[in-house]
Structure 1
Amino acid sequence: MTLPEEQLIDTARGAFNVLTWPGDSGPALAIHGLASTNRLWTWLHQAAPWATLLAPDLPGRGATPVRDARPSSARNHADGLAALLDAIGVETVDVIGMSLGGFIAVELAARHPDRVRSVTLVDGGLPTPVMAQPEELAGMLRAKYREQPDWPDVTAYARHHADTETPLVNAADPRFVEMLAHELRDGTAGGPVLRDVDTEVQDAVSVLASERPIAALAQLEAPTRLLHAQWSTGEGSAPMYPPEHVAALEKRTSALIHTELVERVDHAALIMTDRGAERCAAVLAKALGR
Protein backbone atom coordinates (compact mmCIF):
# COMPACT_ATOMS: atom_id res chain seq x y z
CA MET A 1 0.00 0.00 0.00
CA THR A 2 1.43 3.37 -1.04
CA LEU A 3 0.88 6.39 1.17
CA PRO A 4 1.33 10.02 0.15
CA GLU A 5 4.64 11.55 1.07
CA GLU A 6 4.79 12.97 4.57
CA GLN A 7 6.26 16.27 5.58
CA LEU A 8 7.73 17.54 8.84
CA ILE A 9 6.36 21.06 9.22
CA ASP A 10 7.89 23.58 11.62
CA THR A 11 5.46 25.77 13.56
CA ALA A 12 5.66 28.33 16.33
CA ARG A 13 4.81 25.53 18.77
CA GLY A 14 7.13 22.83 17.43
CA ALA A 15 7.29 20.53 14.42
CA PHE A 16 4.48 18.24 13.24
CA ASN A 17 4.76 15.23 10.98
CA VAL A 18 1.81 15.65 8.59
CA LEU A 19 0.34 13.19 6.10
CA THR A 20 -1.88 14.79 3.45
CA TRP A 21 -4.39 12.93 1.32
CA PRO A 22 -5.44 15.33 -1.46
CA GLY A 23 -9.03 15.41 -2.67
CA ASP A 24 -11.42 17.90 -4.20
CA SER A 25 -12.98 19.09 -0.92
CA GLY A 26 -11.87 21.87 1.33
CA PRO A 27 -9.29 20.84 3.93
CA ALA A 28 -10.37 18.58 6.80
CA LEU A 29 -8.02 18.37 9.77
CA ALA A 30 -8.03 14.74 10.97
CA ILE A 31 -6.90 14.25 14.58
CA HIS A 32 -6.12 10.74 15.79
CA GLY A 33 -6.63 9.16 19.20
CA LEU A 34 -4.58 8.74 22.36
CA ALA A 35 -2.32 5.83 21.40
CA SER A 36 -2.47 6.12 17.62
CA THR A 37 -0.93 8.00 14.69
CA ASN A 38 -1.99 9.70 11.47
CA ARG A 39 -2.31 6.27 9.76
CA LEU A 40 -5.60 5.86 11.63
CA TRP A 41 -7.28 7.78 8.82
CA THR A 42 -6.35 5.36 6.02
CA TRP A 43 -9.79 3.70 6.20
CA LEU A 44 -11.54 7.08 6.00
CA HIS A 45 -9.40 8.11 3.03
CA GLN A 46 -10.44 4.98 1.16
CA ALA A 47 -14.10 5.51 2.06
CA ALA A 48 -13.95 9.21 1.13
CA PRO A 49 -11.26 9.66 -1.56
CA TRP A 50 -12.82 13.03 -2.38
CA ALA A 51 -11.84 14.43 1.02
CA THR A 52 -8.69 16.50 1.46
CA LEU A 53 -7.35 15.16 4.75
CA LEU A 54 -4.58 16.87 6.72
CA ALA A 55 -3.48 14.26 9.24
CA PRO A 56 -0.75 15.15 11.74
CA ASP A 57 0.93 12.83 14.20
CA LEU A 58 0.28 14.35 17.61
CA PRO A 59 3.38 15.21 19.68
CA GLY A 60 4.98 12.15 21.23
CA ARG A 61 3.48 9.78 18.63
CA GLY A 62 4.69 8.52 15.27
CA ALA A 63 7.22 10.93 13.79
CA THR A 64 6.20 14.11 15.64
CA PRO A 65 8.68 15.04 18.38
CA VAL A 66 7.57 15.22 21.99
CA ARG A 67 7.03 18.70 23.46
CA ASP A 68 8.83 20.09 26.50
CA ALA A 69 5.81 22.05 27.78
CA ARG A 70 4.05 20.19 30.61
CA PRO A 71 1.53 18.99 31.38
CA SER A 72 0.34 17.88 27.98
CA SER A 73 -3.40 18.31 27.45
CA ALA A 74 -6.12 18.52 24.83
CA ARG A 75 -6.02 22.31 25.20
CA ASN A 76 -2.29 22.43 24.45
CA HIS A 77 -2.73 20.17 21.44
CA ALA A 78 -5.49 22.44 20.12
CA ASP A 79 -3.23 25.48 20.33
CA GLY A 80 -0.47 23.53 18.61
CA LEU A 81 -2.77 22.57 15.76
CA ALA A 82 -3.84 26.21 15.35
CA ALA A 83 -0.14 26.99 14.94
CA LEU A 84 0.09 24.19 12.34
CA LEU A 85 -2.74 25.80 10.37
CA ASP A 86 -0.81 29.09 10.50
CA ALA A 87 2.35 27.38 9.25
CA ILE A 88 0.65 25.78 6.24
CA GLY A 89 -1.39 28.86 5.41
CA VAL A 90 -4.84 27.40 6.03
CA GLU A 91 -7.32 29.86 7.51
CA THR A 92 -10.28 27.59 8.25
CA VAL A 93 -10.89 23.85 8.29
CA ASP A 94 -13.50 21.27 9.00
CA VAL A 95 -12.23 19.04 11.80
CA ILE A 96 -12.72 15.34 12.42
CA GLY A 97 -11.39 13.75 15.59
CA MET A 98 -11.35 10.20 16.92
CA SER A 99 -11.37 9.53 20.69
CA LEU A 100 -8.75 11.92 22.18
CA GLY A 101 -8.77 13.62 18.78
CA GLY A 102 -12.42 14.44 19.35
CA PHE A 103 -11.63 16.23 22.58
CA ILE A 104 -8.86 18.15 20.82
CA ALA A 105 -11.28 19.04 18.00
CA VAL A 106 -13.77 20.49 20.51
CA GLU A 107 -10.98 22.46 22.20
CA LEU A 108 -9.76 23.77 18.84
CA ALA A 109 -13.28 24.93 17.94
CA ALA A 110 -13.83 26.45 21.40
CA ARG A 111 -10.48 28.23 21.65
CA HIS A 112 -10.10 29.20 17.98
CA PRO A 113 -13.67 29.51 16.71
CA ASP A 114 -12.65 31.51 13.66
CA ARG A 115 -10.54 28.59 12.40
CA VAL A 116 -13.15 25.80 12.53
CA ARG A 117 -16.13 25.48 10.17
CA SER A 118 -17.51 22.22 11.55
CA VAL A 119 -16.63 19.39 13.93
CA THR A 120 -17.14 15.66 13.36
CA LEU A 121 -16.59 13.49 16.44
CA VAL A 122 -15.83 9.78 16.26
CA ASP A 123 -16.52 8.25 19.69
CA GLY A 124 -14.84 11.10 21.52
CA GLY A 125 -15.01 14.78 22.35
CA LEU A 126 -18.04 14.79 24.63
CA PRO A 127 -17.70 14.56 28.42
CA THR A 128 -17.92 10.94 29.56
CA PRO A 129 -20.66 9.83 31.98
CA VAL A 130 -18.23 9.12 34.81
CA MET A 131 -15.08 11.11 35.53
CA ALA A 132 -12.02 8.98 36.32
CA GLN A 133 -9.76 9.64 39.30
CA PRO A 134 -6.52 11.23 38.03
CA GLU A 135 -4.10 9.14 40.10
CA GLU A 136 -5.91 5.89 39.40
CA LEU A 137 -6.07 6.55 35.65
CA ALA A 138 -2.43 7.61 35.45
CA GLY A 139 -1.30 4.55 37.40
CA MET A 140 -3.30 2.17 35.21
CA LEU A 141 -1.89 3.64 32.00
CA ARG A 142 1.70 3.67 33.23
CA ALA A 143 1.43 0.02 34.25
CA LYS A 144 -0.03 -0.86 30.86
CA TYR A 145 2.69 0.92 28.90
CA ARG A 146 5.49 -0.57 31.03
CA GLU A 147 4.42 -4.02 29.86
CA GLN A 148 5.09 -3.28 26.17
CA PRO A 149 8.03 -5.39 24.84
CA ASP A 150 10.31 -4.97 21.85
CA TRP A 151 8.27 -6.57 19.08
CA PRO A 152 10.06 -9.03 16.76
CA ASP A 153 8.09 -7.66 13.79
CA VAL A 154 4.92 -5.74 13.00
CA THR A 155 2.92 -8.94 12.46
CA ALA A 156 3.44 -9.98 16.09
CA TYR A 157 2.47 -6.51 17.26
CA ALA A 158 -0.65 -6.54 15.07
CA ARG A 159 -1.79 -9.91 16.46
CA HIS A 160 -1.27 -8.69 20.03
CA HIS A 161 -3.03 -5.40 19.34
CA ALA A 162 -6.04 -7.17 17.82
CA ASP A 163 -6.22 -9.65 20.69
CA THR A 164 -6.07 -7.01 23.44
CA GLU A 165 -7.19 -3.63 22.08
CA THR A 166 -9.06 -4.02 18.78
CA PRO A 167 -10.84 -7.40 18.71
CA LEU A 168 -13.24 -6.42 15.91
CA VAL A 169 -10.44 -5.30 13.56
CA ASN A 170 -8.78 -7.75 11.16
CA ALA A 171 -5.16 -8.17 12.31
CA ALA A 172 -4.11 -9.10 8.76
CA ASP A 173 -5.67 -6.01 7.14
CA PRO A 174 -2.77 -4.27 5.32
CA ARG A 175 -4.09 -0.89 6.51
CA PHE A 176 -3.94 -2.07 10.12
CA VAL A 177 -0.45 -3.48 9.68
CA GLU A 178 0.77 -0.25 8.02
CA MET A 179 -0.75 1.84 10.80
CA LEU A 180 0.98 -0.21 13.49
CA ALA A 181 4.31 -0.24 11.63
CA HIS A 182 4.29 3.56 11.88
CA GLU A 183 4.12 3.17 15.68
CA LEU A 184 7.23 0.96 15.88
CA ARG A 185 10.81 2.16 16.01
CA ASP A 186 11.92 -0.19 13.24
CA GLY A 187 8.70 -0.17 11.23
CA THR A 188 7.82 -3.59 9.82
CA ALA A 189 10.93 -5.01 11.53
CA GLY A 190 9.41 -4.31 14.94
CA GLY A 191 11.16 -2.84 17.97
CA PRO A 192 9.50 -0.83 20.75
CA VAL A 193 6.44 1.34 20.29
CA LEU A 194 7.31 4.99 19.65
CA ARG A 195 5.34 6.68 22.39
CA ASP A 196 6.04 9.21 25.08
CA VAL A 197 4.33 7.73 28.11
CA ASP A 198 4.17 11.00 30.06
CA THR A 199 2.44 12.74 27.14
CA GLU A 200 -0.17 10.03 26.69
CA VAL A 201 -0.88 9.76 30.41
CA GLN A 202 -1.26 13.52 30.81
CA ASP A 203 -3.48 13.69 27.73
CA ALA A 204 -5.77 10.98 29.09
CA VAL A 205 -6.04 12.69 32.46
CA SER A 206 -6.88 16.01 30.76
CA VAL A 207 -9.99 14.56 29.09
CA LEU A 208 -11.11 11.64 31.27
CA ALA A 209 -10.30 12.93 34.75
CA SER A 210 -11.05 16.63 34.37
CA GLU A 211 -14.06 18.92 34.09
CA ARG A 212 -12.43 20.76 31.18
CA PRO A 213 -14.39 18.82 28.48
CA ILE A 214 -17.64 20.11 30.02
CA ALA A 215 -16.41 23.71 29.81
CA ALA A 216 -15.10 23.28 26.25
CA LEU A 217 -18.40 21.79 25.08
CA ALA A 218 -20.28 24.75 26.58
CA GLN A 219 -18.10 27.12 24.50
CA LEU A 220 -18.66 25.20 21.26
CA GLU A 221 -20.35 27.12 18.45
CA ALA A 222 -19.35 25.24 15.29
CA PRO A 223 -21.95 22.74 14.02
CA THR A 224 -20.96 19.40 15.50
CA ARG A 225 -21.84 15.83 14.56
CA LEU A 226 -21.15 12.72 16.64
CA LEU A 227 -20.87 9.07 15.72
CA HIS A 228 -20.71 6.77 18.72
CA ALA A 229 -20.13 3.03 18.92
CA GLN A 230 -22.40 0.41 20.45
CA TRP A 231 -19.47 -1.12 22.36
CA SER A 232 -16.10 -0.01 23.76
CA THR A 233 -13.73 -2.99 23.38
CA GLY A 234 -15.33 -6.01 21.78
CA GLU A 235 -18.87 -7.27 21.37
CA GLY A 236 -21.08 -6.76 24.41
CA SER A 237 -18.77 -4.36 26.25
CA ALA A 238 -20.16 -1.19 27.81
CA PRO A 239 -19.94 1.77 25.41
CA MET A 240 -17.92 4.91 25.98
CA TYR A 241 -21.11 6.90 25.37
CA PRO A 242 -24.40 5.25 26.40
CA PRO A 243 -27.28 6.45 24.23
CA GLU A 244 -29.10 8.08 27.15
CA HIS A 245 -25.98 10.09 28.01
CA VAL A 246 -25.67 11.27 24.40
CA ALA A 247 -29.35 12.23 24.35
CA ALA A 248 -28.95 14.32 27.50
CA LEU A 249 -25.92 16.15 26.10
CA GLU A 250 -27.71 16.73 22.80
CA LYS A 251 -30.63 18.39 24.58
CA ARG A 252 -28.44 20.97 26.27
CA THR A 253 -25.84 21.53 23.53
CA SER A 254 -27.17 23.63 20.66
CA ALA A 255 -24.00 23.10 18.58
CA LEU A 256 -24.54 19.32 18.61
CA ILE A 257 -26.79 19.05 15.56
CA HIS A 258 -26.50 15.34 14.76
CA THR A 259 -25.78 12.19 16.78
CA GLU A 260 -25.68 8.68 15.39
CA LEU A 261 -25.28 5.35 17.12
CA VAL A 262 -23.41 2.87 14.92
CA GLU A 263 -24.45 -0.63 15.91
CA ARG A 264 -22.29 -3.73 16.00
CA VAL A 265 -18.99 -1.86 16.12
CA ASP A 266 -16.74 -1.03 19.03
CA HIS A 267 -14.56 2.06 19.59
CA ALA A 268 -11.79 0.96 17.20
CA ALA A 269 -14.03 -0.67 14.59
CA LEU A 270 -15.93 2.60 14.20
CA ILE A 271 -12.99 3.84 12.08
CA MET A 272 -10.72 0.80 11.45
CA THR A 273 -13.24 -1.20 9.42
CA ASP A 274 -14.86 -0.52 6.07
CA ARG A 275 -18.34 -0.42 7.59
CA GLY A 276 -17.37 2.04 10.28
CA ALA A 277 -15.32 4.22 7.95
CA GLU A 278 -18.21 4.41 5.50
CA ARG A 279 -20.47 5.83 8.23
CA CYS A 280 -17.74 8.33 9.19
CA ALA A 281 -17.37 9.33 5.53
CA ALA A 282 -21.13 9.87 5.19
CA VAL A 283 -21.25 12.17 8.22
CA LEU A 284 -18.10 14.03 7.15
CA ALA A 285 -19.71 14.54 3.74
CA LYS A 286 -22.63 16.32 5.44
CA ALA A 287 -20.19 18.51 7.36
CA LEU A 288 -18.40 19.45 4.13
CA GLY A 289 -21.67 20.13 2.33
CA ARG A 290 -21.41 17.28 -0.17
Structure 2
Amino acid sequence: MFVPVDGGDLAVEVHDGDTAPVLAVHGVSGSRKLWDRVAAHGFTLIAPDLRGRGDSCVLPGATTRQHADDMVRVLDALDLASVTVAGMSMGAYVAVELAVRHPDRVRALVLVDGGLPMPMHAHMTDELVAAVLAPQLAARERTWTVDEYLAVQAAANPLVDPSDPLTREYFAHDLTPDGHLRLSGETLAADTRDVVFGESRWRELTVPTWFVHAEWSIGPDSAPAYTVEQAAEYRAALPVLREPVLINEVDHGGTVMTAAGAAVTAEVLNEALK
Protein backbone atom coordinates (compact mmCIF):
# COMPACT_ATOMS: atom_id res chain seq x y z
CA MET A 1 0.00 0.00 0.00
CA PHE A 2 1.00 3.65 -0.35
CA VAL A 3 0.47 6.17 2.46
CA PRO A 4 0.33 9.93 1.78
CA VAL A 5 3.11 11.81 3.63
CA ASP A 6 4.76 15.19 3.16
CA GLY A 7 6.19 15.26 -0.35
CA GLY A 8 4.49 12.16 -1.79
CA ASP A 9 3.55 8.59 -0.94
CA LEU A 10 5.34 6.14 1.35
CA ALA A 11 5.38 2.45 0.38
CA VAL A 12 4.26 0.09 3.15
CA GLU A 13 4.08 -3.70 3.16
CA VAL A 14 1.76 -5.46 5.63
CA HIS A 15 2.52 -9.07 6.58
CA ASP A 16 -0.56 -10.86 7.87
CA GLY A 17 0.16 -12.89 11.00
CA ASP A 18 -1.44 -14.02 14.22
CA THR A 19 -0.17 -11.28 16.57
CA ALA A 20 -1.11 -7.73 17.37
CA PRO A 21 0.36 -5.34 14.77
CA VAL A 22 4.05 -4.47 14.94
CA LEU A 23 5.52 -1.45 13.14
CA ALA A 24 8.99 -2.44 11.90
CA VAL A 25 11.49 0.24 10.86
CA HIS A 26 14.58 -0.67 8.82
CA GLY A 27 18.13 0.70 8.91
CA VAL A 28 19.91 3.49 7.07
CA SER A 29 20.62 1.74 3.77
CA GLY A 30 18.01 -1.00 4.10
CA SER A 31 14.42 -1.47 3.02
CA ARG A 32 11.22 -3.05 4.25
CA LYS A 33 12.50 -6.46 3.09
CA LEU A 34 14.95 -6.40 6.01
CA TRP A 35 12.16 -7.75 8.23
CA ASP A 36 11.05 -10.73 6.10
CA ARG A 37 12.77 -13.33 8.30
CA VAL A 38 11.21 -11.87 11.43
CA ALA A 39 7.80 -11.69 9.75
CA ALA A 40 8.12 -15.39 8.94
CA HIS A 41 7.78 -16.12 12.67
CA GLY A 42 4.07 -15.33 12.43
CA PHE A 43 3.93 -11.62 13.23
CA THR A 44 1.46 -9.14 11.84
CA LEU A 45 4.16 -6.80 10.61
CA ILE A 46 3.86 -3.31 9.11
CA ALA A 47 7.07 -2.64 7.21
CA PRO A 48 7.55 0.68 5.39
CA ASP A 49 10.21 1.59 2.86
CA LEU A 50 11.51 4.77 4.49
CA ARG A 51 11.73 7.83 2.26
CA GLY A 52 14.72 7.66 -0.07
CA ARG A 53 14.70 3.84 -0.23
CA GLY A 54 13.02 1.08 -2.20
CA ASP A 55 9.55 1.96 -3.43
CA SER A 56 9.77 5.26 -1.50
CA CYS A 57 13.07 6.27 -3.10
CA VAL A 58 11.73 9.41 -4.79
CA LEU A 59 10.44 10.94 -1.56
CA PRO A 60 12.66 13.90 -0.60
CA GLY A 61 14.08 14.86 2.75
CA ALA A 62 15.21 12.84 5.74
CA THR A 63 15.91 13.06 9.47
CA THR A 64 14.89 10.76 12.30
CA ARG A 65 12.19 13.32 13.14
CA GLN A 66 10.84 13.27 9.57
CA HIS A 67 10.79 9.48 9.52
CA ALA A 68 8.98 9.43 12.88
CA ASP A 69 6.35 11.81 11.49
CA ASP A 70 5.95 9.47 8.51
CA MET A 71 5.38 6.54 10.89
CA VAL A 72 2.52 8.43 12.54
CA ARG A 73 0.95 8.84 9.08
CA VAL A 74 1.30 5.09 8.53
CA LEU A 75 -0.45 4.30 11.82
CA ASP A 76 -3.19 6.80 11.00
CA ALA A 77 -3.71 5.27 7.55
CA LEU A 78 -4.12 1.82 9.09
CA ASP A 79 -6.38 3.18 11.86
CA LEU A 80 -3.99 1.95 14.57
CA ALA A 81 -4.07 3.89 17.80
CA SER A 82 -1.05 2.23 19.44
CA VAL A 83 1.38 -0.53 18.40
CA THR A 84 4.57 -2.23 19.43
CA VAL A 85 7.44 -0.74 17.41
CA ALA A 86 10.62 -2.55 16.38
CA GLY A 87 13.56 -0.66 14.91
CA MET A 88 16.88 -1.96 13.62
CA SER A 89 20.03 0.22 13.50
CA MET A 90 18.90 3.69 12.27
CA GLY A 91 15.33 2.42 12.47
CA ALA A 92 15.81 2.06 16.21
CA TYR A 93 16.67 5.76 16.45
CA VAL A 94 13.51 6.54 14.49
CA ALA A 95 11.57 4.32 16.91
CA VAL A 96 12.99 6.21 19.90
CA GLU A 97 12.03 9.54 18.33
CA LEU A 98 8.53 8.23 17.66
CA ALA A 99 8.10 6.92 21.20
CA VAL A 100 9.36 10.12 22.84
CA ARG A 101 7.29 12.48 20.70
CA HIS A 102 4.19 10.28 20.46
CA PRO A 103 4.18 7.96 23.50
CA ASP A 104 0.45 7.41 23.11
CA ARG A 105 1.09 5.68 19.75
CA VAL A 106 3.75 3.27 21.05
CA ARG A 107 2.86 0.56 23.55
CA ALA A 108 6.35 -1.01 23.62
CA LEU A 109 9.72 -0.71 21.88
CA VAL A 110 12.18 -3.31 20.62
CA LEU A 111 15.52 -1.72 19.70
CA VAL A 112 17.80 -3.94 17.60
CA ASP A 113 21.47 -2.87 17.67
CA GLY A 114 20.57 0.79 17.65
CA GLY A 115 18.49 3.51 19.26
CA LEU A 116 20.87 3.99 22.19
CA PRO A 117 24.00 6.09 21.53
CA MET A 118 26.71 3.97 19.89
CA PRO A 119 30.03 4.65 21.67
CA MET A 120 31.85 4.54 18.32
CA HIS A 121 29.93 7.61 17.17
CA ALA A 122 31.85 9.75 19.65
CA HIS A 123 34.97 9.24 17.51
CA MET A 124 33.35 9.95 14.14
CA THR A 125 34.12 12.97 11.99
CA ASP A 126 32.63 14.26 8.73
CA GLU A 127 35.60 12.77 6.89
CA LEU A 128 35.08 9.32 8.43
CA VAL A 129 31.35 9.41 7.68
CA ALA A 130 32.12 10.29 4.06
CA ALA A 131 34.53 7.36 3.84
CA VAL A 132 31.94 4.96 5.28
CA LEU A 133 29.31 6.13 2.79
CA ALA A 134 31.63 6.14 -0.24
CA PRO A 135 31.02 2.53 -1.38
CA GLN A 136 27.23 2.90 -1.26
CA LEU A 137 27.33 6.23 -3.04
CA ALA A 138 29.64 4.79 -5.69
CA ALA A 139 27.24 1.88 -6.22
CA ARG A 140 24.62 4.39 -7.36
CA GLU A 141 26.79 5.40 -10.30
CA ARG A 142 26.45 2.15 -12.26
CA THR A 143 23.87 -0.45 -13.20
CA TRP A 144 23.73 -3.94 -11.71
CA THR A 145 22.27 -7.33 -12.36
CA VAL A 146 20.79 -8.93 -9.26
CA ASP A 147 23.57 -11.54 -9.28
CA GLU A 148 26.31 -8.89 -9.48
CA TYR A 149 24.79 -6.84 -6.70
CA LEU A 150 24.17 -9.89 -4.52
CA ALA A 151 27.80 -11.02 -4.91
CA VAL A 152 29.13 -7.62 -3.80
CA GLN A 153 26.75 -7.48 -0.85
CA ALA A 154 27.57 -11.03 0.23
CA ALA A 155 31.27 -10.14 0.25
CA ALA A 156 30.56 -7.10 2.43
CA ASN A 157 28.24 -9.08 4.75
CA PRO A 158 30.11 -12.34 5.43
CA LEU A 159 27.45 -13.87 7.69
CA VAL A 160 24.62 -13.43 5.16
CA ASP A 161 23.85 -16.48 3.01
CA PRO A 162 23.65 -15.40 -0.66
CA SER A 163 21.92 -18.67 -1.59
CA ASP A 164 18.98 -17.94 0.70
CA PRO A 165 15.93 -16.81 -1.33
CA LEU A 166 15.08 -14.17 1.29
CA THR A 167 18.58 -12.71 0.98
CA ARG A 168 18.22 -12.53 -2.78
CA GLU A 169 14.78 -10.92 -2.49
CA TYR A 170 16.12 -8.35 -0.02
CA PHE A 171 18.94 -7.18 -2.28
CA ALA A 172 16.86 -7.44 -5.47
CA HIS A 173 14.43 -4.96 -3.89
CA ASP A 174 17.28 -2.42 -3.85
CA LEU A 175 17.35 -2.32 -7.65
CA THR A 176 15.12 -0.80 -10.32
CA PRO A 177 14.15 -3.06 -13.26
CA ASP A 178 16.99 -1.52 -15.28
CA GLY A 179 19.57 -2.14 -12.54
CA HIS A 180 19.94 1.20 -10.76
CA LEU A 181 20.15 1.40 -6.98
CA ARG A 182 16.92 2.64 -5.39
CA LEU A 183 18.67 4.66 -2.70
CA SER A 184 18.88 8.44 -2.50
CA GLY A 185 22.45 9.54 -1.87
CA GLU A 186 21.26 12.79 -0.32
CA THR A 187 18.92 10.96 2.04
CA LEU A 188 21.54 8.38 2.97
CA ALA A 189 24.05 11.08 3.88
CA ALA A 190 21.53 13.21 5.80
CA ASP A 191 20.22 10.26 7.82
CA THR A 192 23.68 8.98 8.63
CA ARG A 193 24.85 12.36 9.86
CA ASP A 194 21.66 12.82 11.88
CA VAL A 195 22.21 9.49 13.66
CA VAL A 196 25.95 9.96 14.18
CA PHE A 197 26.00 13.61 15.20
CA GLY A 198 22.42 14.14 16.42
CA GLU A 199 21.20 13.97 19.99
CA SER A 200 19.29 10.81 20.86
CA ARG A 201 16.36 11.32 23.24
CA TRP A 202 16.63 7.83 24.74
CA ARG A 203 16.70 9.15 28.33
CA GLU A 204 13.16 10.51 27.77
CA LEU A 205 11.63 7.12 26.97
CA THR A 206 8.60 6.21 29.07
CA VAL A 207 7.34 3.07 27.30
CA PRO A 208 8.53 -0.49 28.06
CA THR A 209 11.70 -1.03 26.02
CA TRP A 210 13.71 -4.09 25.03
CA PHE A 211 17.26 -3.93 23.63
CA VAL A 212 18.82 -6.60 21.43
CA HIS A 213 22.47 -6.33 20.42
CA ALA A 214 24.96 -8.33 18.36
CA GLU A 215 28.23 -9.90 19.43
CA TRP A 216 30.02 -8.41 16.38
CA SER A 217 29.65 -5.37 14.10
CA ILE A 218 30.70 -6.55 10.61
CA GLY A 219 31.79 -10.16 10.41
CA PRO A 220 33.18 -12.61 12.98
CA ASP A 221 35.32 -11.24 15.82
CA SER A 222 34.81 -7.59 14.86
CA ALA A 223 34.26 -5.10 17.68
CA PRO A 224 30.53 -4.79 18.49
CA ALA A 225 28.44 -1.65 18.23
CA TYR A 226 27.61 -2.19 21.92
CA THR A 227 29.56 -4.25 24.44
CA VAL A 228 27.79 -6.22 27.16
CA GLU A 229 29.13 -3.71 29.69
CA GLN A 230 27.79 -0.74 27.74
CA ALA A 231 24.38 -2.39 27.40
CA ALA A 232 24.33 -2.93 31.17
CA GLU A 233 25.10 0.75 31.74
CA TYR A 234 22.11 1.74 29.60
CA ARG A 235 19.96 -0.72 31.54
CA ALA A 236 21.00 0.93 34.81
CA ALA A 237 20.38 4.45 33.46
CA LEU A 238 16.93 3.87 31.91
CA PRO A 239 14.17 2.56 34.20
CA VAL A 240 11.91 1.38 31.34
CA LEU A 241 14.68 -0.70 29.73
CA ARG A 242 14.44 -4.46 30.27
CA GLU A 243 17.45 -6.73 30.59
CA PRO A 244 19.48 -6.42 27.34
CA VAL A 245 19.65 -9.52 25.13
CA LEU A 246 22.94 -10.41 23.42
CA ILE A 247 22.77 -12.44 20.21
CA ASN A 248 25.93 -14.51 20.05
CA GLU A 249 27.78 -15.23 16.81
CA VAL A 250 25.94 -12.71 14.67
CA ASP A 251 26.93 -9.25 13.49
CA HIS A 252 24.91 -6.03 13.13
CA GLY A 253 22.96 -7.07 10.02
CA GLY A 254 22.76 -10.67 11.19
CA THR A 255 20.42 -9.69 14.03
CA VAL A 256 17.58 -9.82 11.50
CA MET A 257 19.15 -11.08 8.27
CA THR A 258 20.23 -14.51 9.51
CA ALA A 259 17.96 -17.31 10.71
CA ALA A 260 19.68 -17.45 14.11
CA GLY A 261 19.52 -13.70 14.67
CA ALA A 262 15.94 -13.35 13.48
CA ALA A 263 14.86 -16.17 15.81
CA VAL A 264 16.23 -14.34 18.88
CA THR A 265 14.82 -11.00 17.73
CA ALA A 266 11.44 -12.69 17.20
CA GLU A 267 11.57 -14.17 20.70
CA VAL A 268 12.21 -10.74 22.21
CA LEU A 269 9.45 -9.22 20.07
CA ASN A 270 7.02 -11.86 21.32
CA GLU A 271 7.97 -10.92 24.89
CA ALA A 272 7.32 -7.24 24.14
CA LEU A 273 3.92 -8.07 22.65
CA LYS A 274 2.86 -9.64 25.94
Normalization by structure 1: what TM-score? 0.89
Q: Is the 8 A contact 1:233 1:267 kept in 2?
A: yes
In structure 1, the partner of 2:195 is 207
Give the Å deviation of 1:12: 5.3
In structure 2, the partner of 1:54 is 46
The reply on whether 1:277 has 2:267 as its aligned counterpart is no
Write the letter of the residue equivalent to 2:193. V
The reply on whether 1:109 has 2:99 as its aligned counterpart is yes
- Corresponding residue SS for 1:286: helix
Match of 1:158 among 150, 153, 159: 150
Q: Which runs of 5+ in 2 are unaligned?
A: none
In structure 2, the partner of 1:3 is none
Give the Å deviation of 1:134: 4.8
Q: Which runs of 5+ in 1 are unaligned?
A: 1-6
Partner Cα distance (1:98, 1:56) in 2: 13
Q: Is the 8 A contact 1:110 1:220 kept in 2?
A: yes
Partner Cα distance (2:84, 2:7) in 1: 21
Partner Cα distance (1:90, 1:59) in 2: 21
CA RMSD of aligned residues (A): 1.6
Percent identity, aligned pairs only, is 37
In structure 1, the partner of 2:229 is 244
Partner Cα distance (1:192, 1:13) in 2: 22
Q: Is the 8 A contact 1:132 1:208 kept in 2?
A: no
- Corresponding residue SS for 2:230: helix
In structure 2, the partner of 1:122 is 112
Give the Å deviation of 1:13: 6.2
In structure 1, the partner of 2:17 is 23
Q: Is the 8 A contact 1:106 1:125 kept in 2?
A: yes
Q: Is the 8 A contact 2:99 2:205 kept in 1?
A: yes
The reply on whether 1:73 has 2:73 as its aligned counterpart is no
The reply on whether 1:140 has 2:131 as its aligned counterpart is yes
Give the Å deviation of 1:144: 2.3
Q: How many residues align?
A: 272
Q: Is the 8 A contact 2:217 2:223 kept in 1?
A: yes
Write the letter of the residue equivalent to 1:81. M
Partner Cα distance (2:152, 2:176) in 1: 17
Q: Is the 8 A contact 2:51 2:60 kept in 1?
A: no
Give the Å deviation of 1:66: 3.8
Normalization by structure 2: what TM-score? 0.94
